[in-house]
Structure 1
Amino acid sequence: MTESDPRAIQLLDDLLLHADAVARLVRRGKPAFDQDEFLRYAGEDLLVRLGEVVARLDRKVPGFVEAHAELELRNLKDTRNFVAHGYDVVDFEIIWEILADHVPVVSARVRELLES
């Protein structure tokens, strides 16, 4: 259950891979996101992928997510569930906010954990 567990490290690396893709999407800007349905779909998909990483972390390294509440990983898993199952009621303003504001914070915290 420690951060030195190879399974945890691999999954956190996967999370960072998807978070980096989020950063590239966000760099395109909010106007591009608003105007391009494929960017919005990509944003949804990245949130699903991030949440799935957290779900796998929960399964493969039990207790890790709870032990590292400061990473706010549970929020990504909850967002994944909402986007995957409530795709017809997704508010893209909220999606953008999560992509632009929340994911970078989680990513920075995960990087700090992996570097320590």
Structure 2
Amino acid sequence: MRKRLEDILDAITELEPERSQDRESYDADKKTRVFVLHYIQIIGEAVRRIDPAWLGSHPTVPWRRIVGTRNILVHDYGGVDYAILWQILQEDIPVLKTEIQKILAAESGSEPQQPNE
């Protein structure tokens, strides 16, 4: 489980520089959009591989929504909506980072790292 949570944080670390782009730059750069898509899929896959019972004991994170998003992206149900990925990148990723850091800190008995924003 810890390895999966660290995988999520690693993916978030890769995504963080992309958060500084403005929306026009993001929309104009296909490589960036595909990069964001890839790392959001990695996050979803890491969550999918965590024991559901453990996920249920940490309800502060919308685990099912994360896996659901991953499923839509991987199986391309109706195409990818890059506007939604932009919203996830800007709004959900920072919150997810904080929650994962809190969980890891609680599991190890230490204080969570402060978010870098």
TM-score normalized by the length of structure 2? 0.82
Q: 1:112 aligns with which of 102, 105, 113?
A: 102
1:19 to 2:12 alignment = yes
Instruction: Work out the CA distance in 1 between the residues paired with 2:31 and 2:48.
Output: 25
Higher helix share: 1
User: Percent of aligned positions with the same letter in both sequences?
Assistant: 26
What's 1:44 paired with?
Answer: 37
The one-letter code matched in structure 2 to 1:56 is R
Read off the aligned partner of 1:53 and give its amino acid letter: A
* Amino acid across the alignment from 2:50: L
Aligned residue pairs, count: 106
Structure 1's unaligned 5+ residue stretches are 1-7
Structure 1 length normalisation: TM-score?
0.83
CA deviation after TM superposition for structure 1 residue 9, in Å:
1.3
Q: For residues 5-36 of structure 1, give each alpha carbon's deviation from its aligned partner in whole angstroms, at most 9, with x where no partner exists.
A: xxx11111111000111212212332221110
* Aligned-CA RMSD value: 1.5
The answer on whether the counterparts of 1:65 and 1:74 sit within 8 Å (CA) in structure 2 is no
**Greater RCO, 1 or 2 (C-alpha within 8 Å, sep 6+):** 1
Alignment partner of 1:101 is 2:91:
yes
Q: Does 1:78 align with 2:71?
A: no
C-alpha displacement of 1:111: 0.3
